[in-house]
Structure 1
Amino acid sequence: METPAAPARDRLLRSFRHRNFRLFFAGQFVSLTGTWMQSVAVSWLVYRLTGSSMALGLVGFASHIPVFLFGLFGGCLADRGNKRAILIAAQAAAMLQALTLAALTLSGTANVWLVVSLATFLGLVNAVDMPTRQAFVVDMVGREDLHNAIALNSSMFNSARVVGPAMAGVLVAVIGEGWCFLVNGLSYLAVIAALAAMRLPPSQPRSNTGSVLSHVRQGVAYAWGEGSIRSILGCLIVTSLFASFYMVLLPVVVTTVLGQGAQGLGFLMAATGIGSVASALLLALRQKGRGLSRWRVISGLGVGLVMVAFAFSQTFWLSLCLSTLLGFCLIFFFAASNTMLQQQSPDAMRGRIMALYSVTLVGMAPFGSLLAGTTASLVDAPTAIALAGGLCAAGVALFASLDRRSSNPNQTCP
C-alpha cells in the first residue's frame, strides 16, 4: 500500500526523471554555491576598501546594468542559436572573470575600479546566460514537468544561497576574500562538465530571417500585447527595483546597526536563502499552476512589509528571522512569476520573454543599487530600506489593482 508521503515525494522530485535535468541540477548547485560565495566576498571587499555605501551601490549597478541594456539581445540569441553551446561559452567567460578577480585580490592589487570593471564584464556574460538558461529548462524536461523544474531550480539556487554565504563568511573572516573568488572560479568546471555530458535531441531548425533588432521588437510587442504578461513584468519591475535595497545595504546594517562582521553578513544572507528554499519546495509540491496569480501578489506585498520590519530591527536574531521570511516571500514571488511567464510563452518566443523576465528581475537592480546607495548617503541604511519596502508594497498593490480592472473592463465603480 502506497504511503501518503510517496505521492508527495514523487510530485516534488518528478523532474529528476530526466537525466539531463539531474546533470544540470548537480552542476549548477556547485557553481551557484561558488557564485554566492563571491557575492558576499565582493560586498565585503568593496566595503573594506572604501567604507562607502555609494561604492557598494556602484558595484551593484555595474554588475546588473548590462542585463538591462543587452538582456533582450541575449534572449534573441537563445531563440536563434544552440542553447547548450551558448551556456558553455558563458560559463567559461564567468570562470575567467572569477579567476582574474582572485588573482588581483590575492596579489593585493585590487581596487574598487578594477572590481567595478570586472563586475561589468560579468554583467555582460549574464545578459546572455540568464535568458538562455531559463529558456533551456523546457529542453531538458518538456512542458509537462516545466512547473516542477522551475521550482526545483529555485530551490537549488537558494540552497546554494544558504551554503555559499555561510562558507564565504567563514573564509573571509579567516583567510580573506581572494580565496572565495578562486573557489568560485573552479566551481564553474562542474556546470561546464554537466552541460557537455548531456544527451540532447538534434536542434530543430529555426527561422533566422530578419535582423536581430526586428526579433527583439517582436518579443517586446508580444509581451506588451498580452495583458497577463504585461502585468507580471510590471510587478517584477517594482519589486526588483526596491528589494535590491536590502541586498545592497545589508553590509552597512550588519556593521553599523547589528554590530556584526563578515560572518554575521554570511549568516543573514544564508537565512534569506533558507526561506527561499522553503518557498521553492512548497511551489515544487504544487501539481498545477492554478492560483499562482493571487499568491504571487500576496508574496509581493509581503516583500515590502517585511523589509519595513527589518529596517526597524535592532537585534541580530530578529533580523535573522525577518531575513528568512523575506527570502520566502521573494522567491515565491519570483518563481511564481517565472512559471506563469513560461507557461504563457510559445516555444519560438521563449528566449525573448525570459529575457524580459531577466531584464525586469535583474536589470532593475542597477537602478535600485544606485538609488539605495544615494538614499543611504542622504539618510541612513535602515531608513532607506524602510522607504524602499513601503514603496515596494504600494507598487505591487497598484499593479494588482490595475490588473483586476483590466481583467474586468465592464466593472463599474459603486
Structure 2
Amino acid sequence: MPSMTNATPTPAPPAPRPAGKLKTAFAAFEDRDFRYLGLSTLALGLGQWAQQLGLAWLALELTGSAVQLGTISAFRGGVGVVTAPLGGYLADRFPRRAVLAFTTLASAVQATFFAVLILSGHIELWHVYVLAFAGGVVQSFTQPARQSFVYDISTDETFLNAVTMNSLIQNVSRITGPPLAGMVIGFWGTGTLFTVMAALEIVAVVFTLMISTTTRQKRIENPRGIGSALSEVRDGFAYTWSDKRVLGLIIAHAIPTLLIFPYLPFLALFARDVLDRGPEAFGQLSSMGGWGSLVGLTALTLMGDLKRKGRMMLACFSIYMVMVLGFTLSSNYMLSLLALAAAGVFSSIAFTLNNTLIQVSSKNEFRGRVMSVWQVVSGLQPLGALPMGIFIQQYGPQATVAGFVITAMIAYAIYIATFASVRRA
C-alpha cells in the first residue's frame, strides 16, 4: 500500500481571473439583443430630438410667436402625461418588442407625412398641433415599453449596467441631437429634417426587429378584452401605491422633478440677468448638465454592481441639490458652469439608480405600468415651472430657485426619515 506521505498532492485549480474594469463597464453589450436595443435607442433618440426642434422651428416660421412655441411644447408634454398610463398597459399586455417596433414605425409615418407637407408648401399651423398631439401619444406609448424592455433582455447580474448604458446612449443623443438637427435645418430646411427623422426611425425599427422574441417578460394573464384596459391601468396605480418601496422610489423621483428641474427653462434669465452674458452663455449653461451626465454615467459603469444602491441614490440626489443651490447663489460664470456640470454628474447617477431600483422592486407583470407612472412623474415638470416663473417675476431667479431647492431639501429630509425601505434597497 503506498505511503500517504509520498503521495503527490493534486494542484489546486488556478483562481479565476477577475474581469477587467473595462469589460465589466460594458458587460451589457456582450449580449447581442442589448446591442441591437442600444442602436435602436440611439437612432430613435436622434429622431425624437429632430422632432422637438423641428416642431419648435416650424412654429416660429409659421407664426413668429413665442406664445405659440410654448403652447405647442406644453400641449405635446400634456398629451404624453395623460396617455402614459395606457402606454404602461400596452407594455404589460403585449410583447414589448412588438410595441416598440409598432410605435416607432408610427412615428416614422408621421415624420414622412410632415416632410411631404413641408416640402410641397402645404404645411399649416394646425398640422403642427396634430404632430404635437401624435408625437406626445407615441412617445408615451414607447417609453414604458422601452424602459421595461431593458430588464427583459438583461440578466440580474447585468441589469444595473444595462440601465446605465441605456441612459448613457440616451444622453449621447441628447448632446448630439440638437446641434445636428439645427445644422440640418440651417443647411436644408425643416422638410429635410423630418425626412432624416423618418429615416432614423426606420433604422430604429429594423434594429428592434433584430432582437430575439424570447425575453423574460411576464404579460397580463387572461386579458378580458379592450374594455379591461382602464381596469388594468387602475391596477397599475393601485399596485404602485400599495408597494411602499416602489412608492417611495417614485416619490424620490418626484421631488426633484417638481421642485428643481423646472429651473432649466429659466437658465436664459441666469445668463442674462445674473451673469450678464448673452445667448452663447445660455447655450453653454444648458449643455453642462449633459456633459456632467456623461461623466456620471461613465463612472457608474466602472463601479460595477453596487451593493447599497438605495443609499447611493439618496446621497447623489442630496449632492445634486447642493450643487444646484450653489449654482443659484453664484455670480461667477466659471463657477456656475462647474456647478451645473457637477449637478449633471450626481443627478445622472441618482436617476439611473432610481430607475434600476424601481424595476427590480416591481413585480414582473406590473413593470410596464409602474414605469408608466414613472413617466407621468417625469412629465410633471411644467407644473413646477408655472409657480417658479410667477415667483421669479416677483423675486428674481436667484432667490426663487434657491427657495425651491431649499424646499426640496426639507422635503427630502422628511422623505428619508419616512421611507426606511428605500435606504435598505
Same fold, judged at TM 0.5 (above): yes
Aligned to 1:164: 177
| 2:44 and 2:204 in contact (8 A); partners too | yes
Aligned to 2:233: 216
> Is the counterpart of residue 364 in structure 1 residue 380 in structure 2?
yes
| 2:92 and 2:368 in contact (8 A); partners too | yes
Report deviation, 1:46.
6.1
Report deviation, 1:244.
3.2
Report deviation, 1:336.
0.9
In structure 2, C-alpha distance between the alignment counterparts of 1:250 and 1:110, rounded to whole Å: 31
Aligned to 2:313: 296
Report deviation, 1:120.
3.2
Aligned to 2:340: 323
> Is the counterpart of residue 397 in structure 1 residue 413 in structure 2?
yes
Report deviation, 1:83.
1.2
Report deviation, 1:288.
2.8
> Is the counterpart of residue 144 in structure 1 residue 157 in structure 2?
yes
Aligned to 1:11: 24
Figure out how many residues of one structure are paired with residues of the other and give that number. 404
Q: 1:330 to 1:197 in 2, by over 3 A?
A: same
Report deviation, 1:388.
3.4
Tell me the percent identity.
24
In structure 1, C-alpha distance between the alignment counterparts of 2:335 and 2:64, rounded to whole Å: 29
Aligned to 2:95: 82
Report deviation, 1:126.
1.8
Partner SS for 1:288: coil
1:233 counterpart (240, 243, 250): 250
Alignment of 1:30-45 (within 5 A): 30-39=43-52
RMSD over aligned CA atoms reads 3.6
**Counterpart of 1:78 in structure 2: which amino acid?**
A
In structure 2, C-alpha distance between the alignment counterparts of 1:104 and 1:302, rounded to whole Å: 48
Aligned to 1:343: 360
Report deviation, 1:231.
1.1
Report deviation, 1:190.
2.1
**Counterpart of 2:222 in structure 1: which amino acid?**
N
1:305 counterpart (304, 322, 333): 322
**Counterpart of 1:208 in structure 2: which amino acid?**
N
Aligned to 1:277: 294
**Counterpart of 2:131 in structure 1: which amino acid?**
L
> Is the counterpart of residue 354 in structure 1 residue 371 in structure 2?
yes
Report deviation, 1:81.
0.7
**Counterpart of 1:260 in structure 2: which amino acid?**
G
Report deviation, 1:155.
0.9
Report deviation, 1:341.
0.8
| 2:245 and 2:421 in contact (8 A); partners too | no
* Range with greater deviation from structure 2 (189-198 or 114-123): 114-123
* Range with greater deviation from structure 2 (325-334 or 178-187): 178-187
| 1:303 and 1:330 in contact (8 A); partners too | yes
In structure 1, C-alpha distance between the alignment counterparts of 2:422 and 2:159, rounded to whole Å: 28
Aligned to 1:247: 264
* Range with greater deviation from structure 2 (16-25 or 216-225): 216-225
In structure 2, C-alpha distance between the alignment counterparts of 1:151 and 1:213, rounded to whole Å: 32
Report deviation, 1:67.
3.3
In structure 1, C-alpha distance between the alignment counterparts of 2:331 and 2:113, rounded to whole Å: 38
Partner SS for 1:141: coil
Partner SS for 1:151: helix
In structure 2, C-alpha distance between the alignment counterparts of 1:391 and 1:258, rounded to whole Å: 27
Report deviation, 1:80.
0.9
| 1:303 and 1:393 in contact (8 A); partners too | no
| 2:118 and 2:190 in contact (8 A); partners too | yes
Aligned to 1:93: 106
Aligned to 1:411: none
Partner SS for 2:213: coil
Q: 1:233 to 1:405 in 2, by over 3 A?
A: closer
Q: 1:367 to 1:205 in 2, by over 3 A?
A: closer
2:82 counterpart (40, 65, 69): 69
Report deviation, 1:13.
1.0
| 1:168 and 1:180 in contact (8 A); partners too | yes
Q: 1:321 to 1:105 in 2, by over 3 A?
A: farther
* Range with greater deviation from structure 2 (78-87 or 365-374): 365-374
| 1:301 and 1:397 in contact (8 A); partners too | no
**Counterpart of 1:207 in structure 2: which amino acid?**
E
In structure 1, C-alpha distance between the alignment counterparts of 2:122 and 2:283, rounded to whole Å: 23
Alignment of 1:173-188 (within 5 A): 180-188=193-201
Q: 1:15 to 1:183 in 2, by over 3 A?
A: same
Larger Rg: 2
| 1:219 and 1:352 in contact (8 A); partners too | yes
In structure 2, C-alpha distance between the alignment counterparts of 1:330 and 1:385, rounded to whole Å: 17
In structure 2, C-alpha distance between the alignment counterparts of 1:405 and 1:136, rounded to whole Å: 26
**Counterpart of 2:108 in structure 1: which amino acid?**
M
In structure 2, stretches of 5+ residues that fail to align are: 1-13
Aligned to 1:260: 278
| 1:274 and 1:324 in contact (8 A); partners too | yes
**Counterpart of 2:250 in structure 1: which amino acid?**
L
In structure 1, C-alpha distance between the alignment counterparts of 2:30 and 2:339, rounded to whole Å: 36
In structure 2, C-alpha distance between the alignment counterparts of 1:77 and 1:311, rounded to whole Å: 41
In structure 2, C-alpha distance between the alignment counterparts of 1:244 and 1:29, rounded to whole Å: 24
In structure 1, stretches of 5+ residues that fail to align are: 409-414
